[in-house]
Amino acid sequence: MKLKYAFLTSLFLTSTAFASNQITVDMTNLKTGESVGTVTISNHPYGTIFTPNLSNLPTGIHGFHVHEVASCGAKKKNGDLVPGGAAGSHYDPASNGQHAEPWSFKGHKGDLPVLYVDEEGRATLPVLSPRLTLKDLSNRSLMIHVNGDNYSDDPKPLGGGGARLACGVIN
């Protein structure tokens, strides 16, 4: 009986440790509803690493953030239905109220380094967030924007990323 309990306990601890080490997020094109691949988020001594395995995206750099709400649905804003609007704004638990460099403590905690998409429409280069932990990430969403990100609210708010292109709920 004792042995059986120890075995079950070790099984539980192993699966828990594995589950808390890595999260895979399914990403969907908000216009077409089609899958564009996954982003795997993993623990690292320097923060969390976001490893994309994405395709069918527009070539170039794209704003990439953790948004506060675990939804990729559309939401009405000023009478217009905004794709991905239900994801809310950038994850900002300290209510810093500004968009900044991913390594800055003055900006949103969900501000990530830009996502690079190659000539074939693929994104595979990982980025590191030095501030986020996996704990921060459950029940949030991951967003890829149409435009890039200058890590500032100037000249455009939220880095100038503009419309929401692809999204995934982080469970």
Q: Are 35 and 27 in contact (CB under 8 A)?
A: yes
- Name the residues that contact Zn ion, by CB under 5 A: 90, 99, 108, 111
Q: Is 140 exposed, middle or buried (0-12, 13-18, 19+ CB in 10 A)?
A: buried
- What is the rounded CA–CA span in Å between residue 77 and residue 82? 7
Residue 65 as a binder of Cu ion (CB under 5 A): the answer is yes
Residue 143 as a binder of Cu ion (CB under 5 A): the answer is yes
Q: Nearest approach, Cβ of 87 to Zn ion (angstroms)? A: 13
Residue 140 as a binder of Cu ion (CB under 5 A): the answer is no
The tokens 């539980």 sit on which residue? 12
Q: Which does 140 bind (CB under 5 to 8 A by kind): Cu ion, Zn ion, none?
A: none
Q: Nearest approach, Cβ of 99 to Cu ion (angstroms)? A: 9
Q: Nearest approach, Cβ of 67 to Cu ion (angstroms)? A: 6
> Residue 17: enclosing H or E segment and its boundaries?
helix 2-19
Q: Which does 111 bind (CB under 5 to 8 A by kind): Cu ion, Zn ion, none?
A: Zn ion
Structure tokens at 71: 């939804």
Q: Nearest approach, Cβ of 77 to Zn ion (angstroms)? A: 17
Cα dihedral across residues 20, 21, 26, 30: positive or negative: positive
Q: Which does 143 bind (CB under 5 to 8 A by kind): Zn ion, Cu ion, none?
A: Cu ion
The binding site for Cu ion (CB under 5 A) comprises 65, 143
